[in-house]
Amino acid sequence: MGKNCVIVGCRNKDTNKMEGLKFHRIPKDEPRRSLWLKAINRLCPITGKPWVPSDDGRICSSHFVKEKSDNPSSVDYVPTLKLNSTPMAIPLPDRRKSQLALVTSRVEQVTSEGQAST
């Protein structure tokens, strides 16, 4: 199964076989992991809280100036391109949304904001 990029609004998948596109795992070491999560700026659509990546969470190379770097002084130590400036959740499909009719209005707000921007 192909991996999706975790950036909201980025449709790159590793099955697209786009030329030169690479997928990078979210680092497990702090504080780098926190820097990446801040850059990803993603919310959980159900809780409205900061999203927690799975072990498979990956970011595609289109979010790096040149190429992901492990050097803390490099601009590519964290992803910087094509990111969301405000926290966003991936919009839920309508069917799923009606199943979640009891969730808070805050979650609804987050979801509709995500749709408006795509």
Q: Which stretch binds Zn ion (CB under 5 A): 2-10, 27-35, 72-80, 109-117?
A: 2-10
Which residue of the chain is nearest Zn ion when measured via CB? Answer: 5
Q: Tell me how far, at minimum, the Cβ of 26 lies from Zn ion, in Å.
A: 12
Q: Does 60 bind Zn ion (CB under 5 A)?
A: yes
* CA distances for 41 relative to 9, 63, 64, 79, 89, angstroms: 11, 13, 15, 11, 9
One-character DSSP codes across 3-24: PBB-STT---BTTS--TT--EE
Looking at the Cβ atoms of 83 and 92, the one nearer to Zn ion is 83
Looking at the Cβ atoms of 64 and 92, the one nearer to Zn ion is 64
H-type alpha helices, the chain: 32-40, 94-99, 105-116
Pair of tokens at residue 90: 């991936």
**Count of residues touching Zn ion (by CB under 5 A):** 5
Q: Are 41 and 84 contacting, i.e. CB atoms less than 8 angstroms apart?
A: yes
φ and ψ of 80, to 5 deg: -130, -15
Residues within window 4-43 making contact with Zn ion, judged by CB under 5 A: 5, 7, 10, 12
Q: Which stretch binds Zn ion (CB under 5 A): 1-9, 70-78, 88-96, 97-105?
A: 1-9
Q: Tell me how far, at minimum, the Cβ of 104 lies from Zn ion, in Å.
A: 29
Positions that interact with Zn ion (CB under 5 A): 5, 7, 10, 12, 60
